[in-house]
Amino acid sequence: MSSLNLDDFTDLIERPDGGVRRDAEARRERLIVPPGSLGRLDDLGEWLAAAQGSVPVRPVERPRVLLFAGDHGIAELGVSARPAGSAELLVRAILEGASPVAVLARRLGVPVRIVDMALDCDPETLPEEVVRHRVRRGSGRIDIEDALTLEEAEAAFRAGVALADEEADSGTDLVVLGDVSVGGTTAASVLVAALCGTDASVVTGRGGLAIDDLAWMRKCAAIRDALRRARPVLGDQLQLLATVGGADLAAMTGFLLQAAVRKLPVVLDGVVVGACALVAQRIAFRAPDWWLAGHNSGEPGQAKALDRMALEPLLEQGVTVGEGAGALLALPLVQAAAALAAELPEKPEADEKPEE
């Protein structure tokens, strides 16, 4: 039995301040540009104002990219274009500045933090700040065994909660959340299918490197088999993460919930983060009010998850590389919305009519 009471999050998470949002909407009506002329930037600015509890909205000055890393045993079945157990190579590329997210973050001046939850490598091969939260080496093959023990799932979830507190306490004002995994989209698709009550074929995508038809069929079969194991534990979200998730997914779920508790806005990346967000929504229905969908990755599981949470992607650029890159592309849009909402002048007041 877990000592973690997930029901507490329902009471702890409040919605962004509705009164502040109405004040932001009223201010928007007074700006010199016509209402609606800035499209979704208006909505973004008002959402940020409500999340910050501030009118005018404050600029987003201390964003951070946070990536949870892990290897998934299901990759042994050839469901990914990358070899099983190779997520360490992706992590190294980011640390060395040689990956898309590293290039974008460097250009935008945004720090990147990587958290190893279940990489299949010796922890001594990576920096201490990367590996200090690791729960285990790799996650189980979810078509025939649990990804984690319940104790490991709880440890990973609590690590995510602690990281949300660390970011909030350090002054981070927005998090771009992503994953670095091999086999992670398969586990994520199982979670989405289980929570949305759909079949494996509806949520099975081709991953970041576009697997071929044979690999897609293997992936679909693996999701189908794992889905049979997921359905009996749908009522217990922590057990669900232990059964068919993984340490990285459990940690992201904990992070998303505690970020909402701490009123820390989060931009979601692809299907893996979307699946964790869907689990978090099942735990606390108000949590998605603190999240933005950064982009459409093209994965059917992501589309299903975002539709269930009523989140509309900010960008449609066809980015499938993962690692938070697509969501990071949306950051300048969010920052632009904040700047426009705060810095555009209001219309001059009409001259008062003289008294008769």
What is the dihedral angle through the alpha carbons of 124, 125, 128, 134, rounded to the nearest 10 degrees?
Answer: -80
Structure tokens at 128: 């201490």
Range 136-141 contact pairs with CB under 8 angstroms and sequence separation of 24 or more: 136/247, 138/70, 138/71, 138/72, 138/73, 138/85, 139/70, 139/71, 139/72, 139/73, 139/187, 139/245, 139/246, 139/247, 139/248, 140/73, 141/73, 141/74, 141/76, 141/77
Spacing of C-alpha 70 from chain mean position: 15
Q: Among candidates 283, 288, 329, 282, which has minimal Cα distance to 312?
A: 288
Backbone angles phi, psi at 27, to 5 degrees: -65, -40
Spacing of C-alpha 114 from chain mean position: 14
Alpha helix ranges (H) inside the chain: 8-12, 18-30, 40-52, 87-95, 100-108, 128-131, 150-170, 184-196, 200-203, 213-230, 237-244, 247-261, 271-283, 300-309, 325-329, 331-343
Partners of residue 266 on adjacent β-strands: 175, 291
Rg (CA), the chain: 21
Catalytic center residues? 323
Backbone angle region of 263, left / alpha / beta, with phi > 0 → left and psi within -120 to 50 → alpha: left
